[in-house]
């Protein structure tokens, strides 16, 4: 599990930072710097895909 903080907005305006506890596939985590998008599943089971540029912090939880 990870704590993910990312920007959610339209054209980098009128948005907010979102903090979620998410699950990330191990392969996606290992290629984090290579891919342009991050696919994750939040606690409610919703699968999301966000641009890497929108990520503020990604922290692995114990």
Q: What is the predicted pLDDT for the residue at 26?
A: 82
Helix (H, G, I), strand (E, B) or coil at 53: helix
Q: What is the predicted pLDDT for the residue at 62?
A: 81
Reported pTM: 0.83
3-42 pLDDT tens trace: 999 998 876 667 899 999 999 988 777 777 788 999 999 9
Q: What is the predicted pLDDT for the residue at 15?
A: 86
Q: How far apart are CA 6 and CA 42, in angstroms?
A: 13
Q: What is the predicted pLDDT for the residue at 30?
A: 76
């Amino acid at each position: 599990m990870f704590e993910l903080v990312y920007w959610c907005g339209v054209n980098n305006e009128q948005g907010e930072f979102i903090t979620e506890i998410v699950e990330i596939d191990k392969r996606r985590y290992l290629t984090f710097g290579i891919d342009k998008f991050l696919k994750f599943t939040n606690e409610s089971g919703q699968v999301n895909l966000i641009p890497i540029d929108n990520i503020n912090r990604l922290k692995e939880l114990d």
